[in-house]
C-alpha cells in the first residue's frame, strides 16, 4: 500500500479498459478503486459490442433460414421462418445484464472498491467523486482515466432517440421500420445494415466519402460490397452527406454533394440511424487542475506508455486509456492499454504494439483485418525505402468453405519484398474474425511469409485460406 494515499490506483471509468486495468492492478498487488457514473461495462457491454453481436447472431440465423436457395443446395428444405422482434431484443438485453453482472462480480471478488458517481481530477493524485451522497475526495498514488466515448452526431442532424437515433438506441431494437436510412458505412453502419436487412427492412446507406467502407482495404471493400450490399435490399448514396435530418413521421433528410455542398435530394424515410463514428467523452474530467489540455479533437494526449502529457511533458502519476486517448478506438485495444498502463505504474516499461491489434465487422460474412492496408504499407515503404508485395487466396478454393457452401471470401496478405515481413492481413468471409488472430500473432512477432508458409494447418479448415495466401507469397 502506498503510504499516505487512500489507494495505490484509482480508475475513472468502468468500461472494458478500466475493468482490464483493475484486474491487472490487483494481480500486481495494488489496492484499487474504480469509479463509474453510469453502467458498469461502459459502451462495449451496454451499448456496443455485446448487444450488437447478440442482434447480429439472431438476425443472421433468420437470414440463413430464409435463404432457401442456399439451404436447397445443401439438400435442406424448410417452411416459412418467423421471428419475434421483442424476443430478439430481449436476447440482447439479457446478455448485457449477464455480462454486466459478471464484470461487476469479478471486481468485487478481487476486492476492487466500486464507487458510484462522477469522478474527476481534483489536483495532483486527487480525485473528487460526486454521487447521491454528495461530494468526496479520495487520494491515489496513480490515476487512470478511462472515460470512453459517445456517438458523434454531425451538425444539422437532430436526434430524438426514436425516429432519428444513434447506435446507443439502435441496439435496443425497439422497432423495425419499413425504411431505414443509415448515415455512415463504417463498422457500425455495416453491422446495422446487416441486422435490419435480415429482418426485412429496406435500407438507404448514405456515405459522405467517395467510396463505401472507407478505412477498409479496397480489395476487401469491393468484394464485401458485392456480397453484403448489392444483392440485399440496400440502396447506396456515395459522396453524399445528410445536410439536415428532421425527426418525425416521416423523417425528412436533406442530401447534398459532399464536395460541392450543393443540394442533391430530399428523402423521407421511417427512421434514420446516425452511424458517423464516435468522439471522446472527455468533458468535465478536471484536467485543467493539473494543467492538461485536450488536443484539437478533444482526445487526452498520451505517450506510448499511456502517461498523460501536458505540453509534451509527462504528468506524473496520471494515465489515460481507451477511446479517450484516440489511439485506437476498440474495446480490446482499451483493455490492452489498461494492462500496459499498470505495467508502467509498477515499473515494468511496456508499450502497445498497435500494428498487431486486429479489428472486425461482424457482418454475414465477416470482415477482419490486422496491420496496414495496402495504401498505408506503400506509404511506409516510400518513407523507409522498401517495396511491398501482396498475395491473395480465395474461399472458393477452400474445401471447408465449399463444404459449407459459403465460398464468398478472400484473404489478402501484404508484406515486404526484401524481408518478407508481414505488414497487414485482411480477410472477408466466413469466420474472418476468428481467423485473423493467427495473422495478428504473426505481425506481433514480425514473422515473414517464408516462415509462415511452412506452418502446417489442419485440413480441411478455413484457416487454410491464410496458409494458401502465405504459400502464394513465396
Q: Flag whether 61 is in a domain.
A: no
Residue-range definition of the domain harbouring residue 417: 356-472
Q: Is 329 labelled as part of a ligand binding site?
A: yes
- Hey, what's the torsion of the CAs at 399, 404, 409, 414, to 10 degrees? -50
Q: Is 119 annotated as a binding residue?
A: yes
Residues 431 and 364 in one domain: yes
Q: Which residue has the cell 495494488?
A: 30
What is the rounded average pLDDT of the residues 261-266? 97
Q: Which residue's C-alpha cell is 492499454?
A: 337
What are the E-state strand segments in 338-421?
359-361, 366-371, 388-394, 410-416
- For residue 167, the domain's CATH number is 3.50.50.60
Per-residue pLDDT reduced to its tens digit, 93-149? 999 999 999 999 999 999 999 999 999 999 999 999 999 889 999 999 999 999 999
Does 428 fall in a domain?
Answer: yes
| 459 in catalytic set | yes
- Please tell me whether 120 is known to bind a ligand: no
Q: Is 312 annotated as a binding-site member? A: no
Do both 375 and 254 map to the same domain?
A: no
- Taking only Cα atoms into account, the Rg of the chain, rounded to an integer number of angstroms, comes to 24
Residues 305 and 266 in one domain: no
- Determine, yes or no, domain membership for 391: yes
Q: What is the mean pLDDT of residues 204-223?
A: 95
pLDDT given for residue 1 in this prediction: 59
The pLDDT value given to residue 2:
64
331 carries a ligand binding annotation: yes
pLDDT single digits (tens) 230-255: 999 999 999 999 999 999 999 999 99
Domain boundary among 225, 247, 276: 276
Confidence of residue 63 (pLDDT cuts 50, 70, 90): very high
User: Is 330 annotated as a binding-site member?
Assistant: yes
Has 427 been labeled as part of a binding site? no
Gap between the Cα atoms of 433 and 450, Å rounded: 24
d(CA 121, CA 288): 9
Q: Comparing 103 with 2, which gets the higher pLDDT? A: 103
Mean of the per-residue pLDDT values of the chain: 97
Q: Phi, psi (5° rounding) for residue 179?
A: -135, 115
Residues 131 and 160 reside in one and the same domain? no
Verify that 117 and 203 share a domain, yes or no: no
Record the pTM: 0.95
Share of the chain above pLDDT 90, in %: 98
For residue 375, what pLDDT is reported? Answer: 94
27 is in an annotated binding site: no
Please indicate, yes or no, if residue 78 is contained in any of the structural domains: no
Is 48 marked as binding a ligand?
no
Grid cell at residue 338:
489498461
Residues 109, 190 within the same domain: no
Is 426 annotated as a binding-site member?
no
Domain-embedded: residue 77 = no
Same domain (yes/no): 328, 390? no
Q: What is the pLDDT of residue 155?
A: 96
User: Does the residue 333 lie in any domain?
Assistant: yes
Phi, psi of 447 (to 5 degrees): -80, 160
Cα–Cα distance measured from residue 373 to residue 353, given in angstroms and rounded to the nearest whole number: 16
> Which one-letter DSSP state was computed for residue 322?
G
Residue 111 lies in a domain: yes
The DSSP line for 400-444 is HHHHHT----EEEEEEETTT-BEEEEEEEETTHHHHHHHHHHHHH
Categorize the per-residue pLDDT at 3 as very low, low, confident or very high, splitting at 50, 70 and 90. confident
Cis-peptide into 250, omega within 30 deg: yes
Question: 362 and 431: one domain?
Answer: yes
Exposed / middle / buried, residue 143 (Cβ in 10 Å: 0-12, 13-18, 19+)? buried
Domain presence at residue 313:
yes
CATH number of the domain enclosing 463? 3.30.390.30
Catalytic residue among 24, 91, 457, 459: 459
d(CA 289, CA 395): 56
Instruction: Answer with the one of 251, 276, 301 that is the final residue of a domain.
Output: 276
Is the pLDDT at 194 greater than 90? The verdict is: yes
Q: Which whole number is the average pLDDT over 454-471?
A: 98
The three cell numbers locating residue 55: 442482434
Query: 107: number of CA atoms within 13 Å, CB side?
Result: 25
277 labelled ligand-binding: yes
Q: How far apart are CA 398 and CA 404, in angstroms?
A: 10
Domain count, the chain: 3
Which residues touch 103 (CB under 8 Å, ≥6 apart)? 14, 19, 40, 41, 45
- The answer to whether residues 179 and 262 belong to one domain is yes
- Is 289 flagged in the annotation as binding? no
Which residue bears the cell 485460406?
Answer: 465
**pLDDT tier at 37 (50, 70, 90 boundaries)?**
very high
Question: Which of 317, 352, 387 is at the close of a domain?
Answer: 352
**In a shared domain, residues 360 and 453:** yes
Same domain, 198 and 316: no
Q: Is 135 annotated as a binding residue?
A: no
188 annotated as belonging to a binding site for a ligand: yes
Q: Quick: pLDDT tens for 330-386.
A: 999 999 999 999 999 999 999 999 999 999 999 999 999 999 999 999 999 999 999
d(CA 90, CA 58) in angstroms, rounded, equals 11
Q: Are residues 176 and 237 in the same domain?
A: yes
Cβ-in-10-Å burial (0-12, 13-18, 19+) of 269 comes to: buried
Amino acid at each position: 500500500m502506498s503510504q499516505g494515499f487512500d489507494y495505490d490506483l484509482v480508475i475513472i471509468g468502468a468500461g472494458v479498459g478500466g475493468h482490464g486495468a483493475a484486474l491487472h492492478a490487483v494481480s500486481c498487488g495494488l489496492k484499487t478503486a474504480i469509479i463509474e457514473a453510469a453502467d458498469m461495462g461502459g459502451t462495449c457491454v451496454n451499448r456496443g459490442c455485446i448487444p450488437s453481436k447478440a442482434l447480429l447472431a439472431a438476425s443472421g440465423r433468420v437470414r440463413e433460414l430464409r435463404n432457401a436457395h442456399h439451404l436447397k443446395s445443401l439438400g435442406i428444405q424448410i417452411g416459412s421462418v418467423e421471428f419475434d422482434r421483442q424476443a430478439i431484443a430481449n436476447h440482447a438485453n439479457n446478455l448485457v445484464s449477464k455480462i454486466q453482472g459478471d464484470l461487476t462480480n469479478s471486481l468485487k471478488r478481487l476486492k476492487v472498491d466500486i464507487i458510484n458517481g462522477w469522478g474527476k481530477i481534483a489536483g495532483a493524485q486527487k480525485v473528487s467523486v460526486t454521487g447521491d451522497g454528495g461530494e468526496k475526495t479520495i487520494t491515489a498514488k496513480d490515476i487512470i482515466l478511462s472515460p470512453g466515448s459517445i456517438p458523434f452526431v454531425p451538425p444539422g442532424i437532430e436526434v430524438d432517440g426514436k425516429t432519428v437515433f444513434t447506435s446507443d438506441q439502435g441496439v435496443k431494437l425497439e422497432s423495425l421500420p419499413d425504411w431505414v436510412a443509415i448515415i455512415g458505412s463504417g463498422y457500425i453502419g455495416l453491422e446495422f445494415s446487416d441486422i435490419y436487412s435480415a429482418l426485412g427492412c429496406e435500407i438507404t446507406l448514405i456515405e459522405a466519402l467517395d467510396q463505401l467502407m472507407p478505412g477498409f482495404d479496397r480489395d476487401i471493400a469491393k468484394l464485401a460490397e458485392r456480397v453484403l450490399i448489392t444483392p440485399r435490399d440496400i440502396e447506396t448514396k456515395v459522396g453524399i452527406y445528410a445536410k439536415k435530418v428532421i425527426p418525425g413521421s416521416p423523417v425528412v433528410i436533406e442530401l447534398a454533394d459532399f464536395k460541392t455542398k450543393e443540394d442533391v435530394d430530399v428523402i423521407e424515410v421511417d427512421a434514420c440511424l446516425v452511424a458517423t463514428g464516435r468522439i471522446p467523452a472527455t468533458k468535465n474530467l478536471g484536467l485543467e487542475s493539473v494543467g492538461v489540455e485536450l488536443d484539437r479533437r478533444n482526445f487526452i494526449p498520451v505517450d506510448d506508455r499511456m502517461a498523460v502529457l501536458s505540453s509534451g511533458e509527462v504528468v506524473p502519476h496520471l494515465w489515460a486509456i481507451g477511446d479517450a486517448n484516440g489511439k485506437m478506438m476498440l474495446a480490446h485495444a482499451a483493455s490492452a492499454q489498461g494492462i500496459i498502463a499498470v505495467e508502467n505504474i509498477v515499473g515494468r516499461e511496456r508499450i502497445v504494439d498497435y500494428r498487431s491489434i486486429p479489428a472486425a465487422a461482424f457482418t454475414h460474412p465477416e470482415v477482419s483485418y490486422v496491420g496496414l492496408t495496402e495504401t498505408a504499407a506503400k506509404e511506409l515503404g516510400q518513407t523507409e525505402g522498401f517495396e511491398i508485395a501482396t498475395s491473395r487466396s480465395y474461399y472458393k478454393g477452400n474445401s471447408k468453405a465449399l463444404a459449407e457452401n459459403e465460398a464468398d471470401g478472400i484473404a489478402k496478405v501484404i508484406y515486404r519484398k526484401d524481408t518478407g515481413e508481414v505488414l497487414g492481413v485482411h480477410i472477408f468471409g466466413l469466420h474472418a474474425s476468428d481467423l485473423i488472430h493467427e495473422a495478428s500473432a504473426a505481425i506481433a512477432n514480425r514473422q515473414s511469409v517464408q516462415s509462415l508458409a511452412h506452418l502446417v494447418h489442419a485440413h480441411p479448415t478455413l484457416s487454410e485460406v491464410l496458409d494458401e495466401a502465405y504459400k502464394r507469397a513465396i
